[in-house]
Amino acid sequence: MRVEPSVMAQRRRRKHWGWGWEDEQPSPGELREAAAGLAAHLGFGSVEPEAPAAPRLAPARVDVPQALAAICSQDDHARALHAHGASYLDVVRGFRGRFPHAPDAVALPGDEADLLRVLEWCAQARLAVTPYGGGTSVVGGVDPVAGPRHAGAVSVDLSRLDRVLEVDGVSRAARIQAGANGPRLEAQLAEHGLTMRFYPQSFEQSTLGGWIATRAAGHFATGPTHVDDLVESVRAVTAGGSVWESRRLPGSGAGPSPDRMLLGSEGTLAVITEAWVRVRPKPEARRSAGVAFAEFTTAVDAVRTILHAGLRPANCRLISAREAALTFAGDGSSALLVLGFEEDVSGADRAFAICRDHGGQVREGSGGGSGAWREAFLRAPYLRDALVAMGVLTETFETAVTWERLPGLMASVQEAATEALGGDGEVTCRLTHAYVDGAAPYFTVLAPARRGEEEAQWSAIKAVASDAILAAGGTITHHHAVGRDHRRWYDRQRPGPFAAAMRAAKDALDPDSLLNPGVLWEPR
């Protein structure tokens, strides 16, 4: 039964295999022109990009009940779009027209009542349920994979739940539906002169519910950058239809936090529908600078000194010389520290002085390289689609580690990943977040892709890099979540008793493993 309701037909269409909207993609001529420049810059990649293949989908295994036809679709584009996230391999598979985990249907509930009806149908029909926000997972977190006892899988797209429902100006908090993406959320808060001030790289597409479910981090390098810091309370619906809603509080010592259980739960315990989050007025004062360092290690020392001095720059992103050159943020002659302060900018002069004491050359304003970095940061998801068409492997992975272990981790991980490349391409690194006790290294891999073997090629690199991260004392992920891609390393990282406790919670809330089976733990 093919269902094409008006609620989906009227929506602006996103590209089914890559990033962005269908109506803003480059023409074949523009793509060839970009490929020529990129190939010359990288030293590899085809100047004649491939064209994406038409999607090939297995037939849907279930029929949508007539009572849900108005909010469900089995249209090929909707199924292809919701079949994957936004990792390199997701893009490659979609580019080749392969969608191994296409959902049997896509549901777009308009409110909690709709959601409850969808969950009831899925429970009765033994259908796995994958909550879907913006589809920006890079770790296999939104692939609608059915468990061994399921008859099929449904992707539940929450993007129609996209409103700011209430603003508490006295407490500086707002109640927002989970499907609101970054621009939609910020536009509504701006009407009240407020901002959530949460800007991940996926800001354009990712949603509040997705941020909470994955314990996402924004691009602010210090202070309240994790969504954990901004959540006041969460409302969710379990697979059995029970409502999970915590009390609004500025803080509490009343046992384990119900919010913390949902933060990072990746859609496996309940479907998040809304949350109260902390907001603030838009900052008026800003100071920024780009700081050039001859040595990356010296710049690391400067960043640590800034944090230990009690300073909390909004941006404190350290980019290696090679990565700065590859991303057009610098000329490759020096490492670049992008340093910025907001609201209280009184610490800027002291931070700049610390940089100078460590041999850094400080240039205030966008002329120092901070503007170029910001453009490269926002352009990266669009650029990757072109690189895939050119036959370039381009992917990232990240971690966090304490300061004393940072040099050893960076060296061992880069060595392992570089060796796995077999002499082709390179691995670069930057620090994206800084803490009093450590930092978050973020690695980028660029290499010629082996056409048709991209999955095996990247999986081998990812495996050795992940092993090296755990061996060096890092976390398997700082802000990209676990999904299915990180599962085997997450199993090694988490304590056994904690895993047993969370498994028991899963069994109590979702005994049939309907919600996102295979993410965080194996389904029963």
Handedness of CA 34, 36, 38, 41 (dihedral sign): negative
Q: Tell me the three state secondary structure of residue 113.
A: helix
Handedness of CA 349, 353, 354, 358 (dihedral sign): positive
Residue 134's pLDDT is what? 96
Residue 255's pLDDT is what? 95
Residue 365's pLDDT is what? 80
Domain extent listing, the chain: 6-17+53-157, 164-281
Residue 4's pLDDT is what? 45
Mean pLDDT of 427-450: 97
Give yes or no for residue 323 having a pLDDT over 70.
Answer: yes
Tell me the Ramachandran region of residue 55: left when phi exceeds 0, alpha when psi lies from -120 to 50, beta otherwise.
beta
Give yes or no for residue 112 having a pLDDT over 60.
Answer: yes
Q: Tell me the three state secondary structure of residue 14.
A: strand
Strands 392-398 and 438-448: antiparallel
Tell me the Ramachandran region of residue 203: left when phi exceeds 0, alpha when psi lies from -120 to 50, beta otherwise.
alpha
**φ, ψ dihedrals at 336, nearest 5°:** -120, 125
For residue 379, name the pLDDT band (cuts at 50, 70, 90). low
Handedness of CA 48, 49, 52, 53 (dihedral sign): positive
Residue 114's pLDDT is what? 98
Residue 6's pLDDT is what? 45
Give yes or no for residue 267 having a pLDDT over 70.
Answer: yes
Name residues whose C-beta falls within 8 Å of residue 273's C-beta, 6 or more positions apart in sequence.
112, 115, 158, 161, 177, 178, 209, 235, 236, 237
For residue 381, name the pLDDT band (cuts at 50, 70, 90). confident
CA distance 14 to 223: 34
| pLDDT tens digits along 467-505 | 999 999 999 999 999 999 999 999 999 999 999 999 999
For residue 367, name the pLDDT band (cuts at 50, 70, 90). low
**φ, ψ dihedrals at 209, nearest 5°:** -60, -40
Q: Using alpha carbons, select from 213, 232, 223 the residue that is nearest to residue 168.
A: 232
Query: Which CATH topology does 164-281 take?
Result: 3.30.465
Give yes or no for residue 193 having a pLDDT over 50.
Answer: yes
Mean pLDDT of 25-40: 91
Name residues whose C-beta falls within 8 Å of residue 382's C-beta, 6 or more positions apart in sequence.
19, 20
Q: Using alpha carbons, select from 364, 356, 386 the residue that is nearest to residue 449.
A: 386
On the CB side of 495, CA atoms within 13 Å amount to 3
How distant, in Å, are the alpha carbons of 74, 355, 432 from that of 437? Answer: 49, 19, 14
Largest CA-CA distance found in the chain, in angstroms, rounded: 70
* CB burial string 7-27: b at 16+ within 10 A, e below: ebeeeeebbbbbbeeeeebee
Write down the mean pLDDT value for the chain: 93
Cβ atoms of 196 and 174 closer than 8 Å = yes
CA distance 382 to 401: 30
Question: Read out DSSP for 172-241?
Answer: TEEEEETT-BHHHHHHHHHTTTEE-----TTTTT-BHHHHHHTT-B-S--SSS-BGGGGEEEEEEE-TTS
Cβ atoms of 480 and 138 closer than 8 Å = yes
Query: Which CATH topology does 6-17+53-157 take?
Result: 3.30.43
For residue 298, name the pLDDT band (cuts at 50, 70, 90). very high
Beta-bridge partners for 291: 337, 362
| pLDDT tens digits along 215-260 | 999 989 998 899 999 999 999 999 999 999 999 999 999 999 999 9
For residue 9, name the pLDDT band (cuts at 50, 70, 90). low
Residue 378's pLDDT is what? 53
Name residues whose C-beta falls within 8 Å of residue 449's C-beta, 6 or more positions apart in sequence.
92, 388, 391, 392, 393, 457
CA distance 74 to 71: 11
Give yes or no for residue 11 having a pLDDT over 90.
Answer: no
Residue 2's pLDDT is what? 41
CA distance 263 to 231: 9
Q: Using alpha carbons, select from 316, 258, 240, 266 the residue that is nearest to residue 508.
A: 240
Helix (H) or strand (E) holding 407: helix 406-421
Mean pLDDT of 343-362: 96
Name residues whose C-beta falls within 8 Å of residue 391's C-beta, 6 or more positions apart in sequence.
45, 46, 50, 448, 449, 451
Give yes or no for residue 318 having a pLDDT over 60.
Answer: yes
